[in-house]
Amino acid sequence: MAKFLAELLGCTLPSKGASPMFETTIFSTLASEKSLSDCKKEQQWKLSMYSRSIPPVCFTSPLIEKPVGKESMPQTPPFSAMFDSSGYNRNLYQSADDSCGGLYYHDNNLLSGSLEALIQHLVPNVDYYPDRTYIFTFLLSSRLFMHPYELMAKVCHLCVEHQRLSDPNSDKNQIRKIAPKILQLLTEWTETFPYDFRDERMMRNLKDLAHRIASGEETYRKNVQQMMQCLIRKLAALSQYEEVLAKISSTSTDRLTVLKTKPQSIQRDIITVCSDPYTLAQQLTNVELERLNYIGPEEFVQAFVQKDPLDNDKSCYSERKKTRNLEAYVEWFNRLSYLVATEICMPVKKKHRARMIEYFIDVARECFNIGNFNSLMAIISGMNMSPVSRLKKTWAKVKTAKFDVLEHQMDPSSNFYNYRTALRGAAQRSLTAHSSREKIVIPFFSLLIKDIYFLNEGCANRLPNGHVNFEKFWELAKQVNEFMTWKQVECPFERDRKILQYLLTVPVFSEDALYLASYESEGPENHIEKDRWKSLRSSLLGRV
C-alpha cells in the first residue's frame, strides 16, 4: 500500500522497467510524503487552472409561484452549467427573509458557516429554494461531518416541523407553495446521490417525508411515485452491475494456469479477436464509460474521509467508506495494463511480439484521438512494465516514433502539463460537440484522484472558529462536477460482445508469470536475472 500511495500521489509515468502504477485496493486514509505547504502551493496552481476551464454558470430565476403541477417545480441547470469561478452568489439566491445566522459571505459569495446554518440553508421555504450548485456542493461535502442518514433526518425534521407539514390545521395554500420545493429537493438528492439510499434509514426517512407530501394532492402523488421508481431503477441497475463484476472476478484465472492445460498453439490473442486497433479502442471506451457511469460523486469524498475533530462519535467513519465502484474502476486499469503486457510477452516468435507492440501503439493512439486518456495510460503503463521493456531484441524491430509521441503527451513533467492541455482541449470539444463521439472525455483517473486528494489535504475542513470551510468545498464540487458531466456521456460505439468478453474475462499473467515469459522469450542478461529465472521456473513450472 505504501508503494502504491507514493506512486499515486507522485503520479509519475512509469519508465521502462517499472511496475504498473496502481495496486488494486487504494482507499485507506492517505498519508502524503509532501508537506502541507507543498500541497497548498500545488493546489493553488491547480485551482487557478481549473477556474479558467469551468464554463459560465447558467443561473435559474428565483422560483415564481405557478399553479400546482410539474411545471411549477423549481427548474435547475444541467451539470455542465452548474459552476463558475465565483461560487455561490447571495444576491441571486438568498431567502427573502435572509435572517439565518451562522453564514459568512464575502463579496456576496458564501465562504463559511456553522454546520447547522448550512443545513437550514439547504431546506427550502415558501420564499426560497436553494441553488443547485449549493445543493450539490453541500450534499457532496456534508458527509465529511455527518452520515447522509443523519442529514436526511435533520432535513425531514426541518421540513415537517418548520413548514408544519404534520399539522392538519395548517394552511393548505401554504403547503401548496412549499410541497413542490421539498419534493424537488428530494428529487435532486435521489438523482444525484442515489447510492445514499441503499441505507435503509435513508429510504425510511425519504418514504416518510414523501408520504406527507403526497397525501395532499394527486399531482404530488404522481411526482413522488416517479421519483421513487427512478431511484429504485438506479439501485437495481447498481446491484446488477455489482453482480456482473463479482461473476467476472470469480471466474478469473492466471494465464499460466491455462497454458499448462492448453497448448499455446491453440490459444487466441487479442489480434485474432480484433485485428483493427480503432475497433479495439472503441470497445475499450465502451468499458471505460460503463464503469465511469456507476461511480457516484460521493465516492471521491468518501475515499478520503477522516475524523471530524468536532465529532465525538469515533466509530461512525468506518462504515462511510463506500468506494466499491472507484475500486472496480482502478481494478480495470490494472487488468488492462497486465493484459497488454501479457499479450506482448506471450508470443514465442520475436516478430509476433513486435507486431503486438505496434498493434497496441496504434490502439493507444486511437484512444488518444477519441479522448479516452485512461485506457491510453493503461496501455502505456503495460508497455513500460519491466518484463516488456527488457525485451530489447523485440523493441529493436518496432517503429517507436508513434509511441514516443504518446509518451510525450502523457509526460509527467510540470504536473502533467501536456496531458492537462490535451484534456482541456477534449473538454472544450465536448462543450461544443454536435455528436456523442465528440463529447467523450475519459480522464486519466489516477491524476483526477490525486488532484482531489491534494485539494482535500491542502485545506482544512473547518476554520478556527469551527465554521465549515465552504470555500474549499466549492472547489471540490467543481472538480467532481466536471467528472459528473463526462461520465454521463452515452458511448456512441456499438458494443461487440466477443471483443468485450475477451477484454473482461481472458486470463492474464501475474507479475511473476510475466517475468518468466519474458525470460523464456529473451534469456536473462545477468546473474540476478538468471537466478530469478531459475526460481520462477521452479516455482511456476516445477522445472529446474
Task: Kindly report, residue by residue over 111-156, the tens digit of the pLDDT.
Answer: 999 999 999 999 998 889 999 999 999 999 999 999 999 999 999 9
Does residue 51 carry a pLDDT above 80? Answer: no
Does residue 302 carry a pLDDT above 90? Answer: no
Question: Which among 229, 152, 231, 224 is positioned nearest to 183, based on CA atoms?
Answer: 224
Cβ burial of 127 (10 Å; 0-12, 13-18, 19+) is middle
Does residue 421 carry a pLDDT above 80? Answer: yes
**What are 363's three cell numbers?**
490502439
Question: Which CATH number does the domain 107-232 belong to among 3.40.50.1000, 2.102.10.10, 3.30.930.10, 1.20.870.10?
Answer: 1.20.870.10
Does residue 383 carry a pLDDT above 50? Answer: yes
Instruction: Please give the average per-residue pLDDT across 60-66, as a whole number.
Output: 28
pLDDT of residue 249: 78
SS (H, E, C) 200-236: HHHHHHHHHHHHHHHCCCHHHHHHHHHHHHHHHHHHH
Of all residues in the chain, what percent carry a pLDDT higher than 70? 73
Query: pLDDT class for 85, splitting at 50, 70, 90?
Result: very low
Question: What secondary structure does DSSP assign to 16-44, as a single string?
Answer: TTBPPS--S---S----SS-HHHHHHHHH
Question: What secondary structure does DSSP assign to 166-193, as a single string?
Answer: T-TTS-HHHHHHHHHHHHHHHHHHHHH-
Instruction: Please give the average per-residue pLDDT across 481-493, as a whole number.
Output: 94
Question: Which among 13, 108, 95, 66 is positioned nearest to 382, based on CA atoms?
Answer: 13
- At position 76, the amino acid (one-letter code) is T
Question: Which among 440, 415, 418, 437 is positioned nearest to 427, based on CA atoms?
Answer: 440
Query: pLDDT class for 378, splitting at 50, 70, 90?
Result: very high
3-class secondary-structure state, position 128: strand
Any idea where the domains of the chain sit in the sequence? 107-232, 272-305+321-541
pLDDT of residue 107: 86
Does residue 430 carry a pLDDT above 80? Answer: yes
3-class secondary-structure state, position 415: helix
Q: DSSP class of residue 303? A: T
pLDDT digits (tens, 9 = 90+) for 322-358: 788 999 999 999 999 999 999 999 999 999 999 999 9
pLDDT digits (tens, 9 = 90+) for 433-450: 988 899 999 999 999 999
Helix (H) or strand (E) holding 490: none
Inter-CA distances, 272 with 159, 287, 356, Å: 61, 20, 11
Does residue 507 carry a pLDDT above 80? Answer: yes
Q: Do domains 107-232 and 272-305+321-541 have the same CATH topology?
A: no
Note whether 65 and 50 are within 8 A (CB): no
Give the rounded distance of the alpha carbon of 536 from its chain centre: 37
Does residue 484 carry a pLDDT above 70? Answer: yes
Number of H helices, E strands in the chain: 26, 3
Instruction: Please give the average per-residue pLDDT across 29-55, as a whole number.
Output: 36
Looking at domain 272-305+321-541, does it have CATH number 3.20.20.70?
no
Query: What pTM did the predictor assign?
Result: 0.80
pLDDT of residue 137: 97
Give the other-Cβ count within 10 Å of 19's Cβ.
Answer: 17
End-to-end CA distance of the chain: 33
Note whether 478 and 297 are within 8 A (CB): no
Instruction: List all residues 6 or more positions away from 272 whose beta carbon is below 8 Å from its beta carbon.
Output: none
Determine how β-strand 109-113 pairs with β-strand 103-106: antiparallel
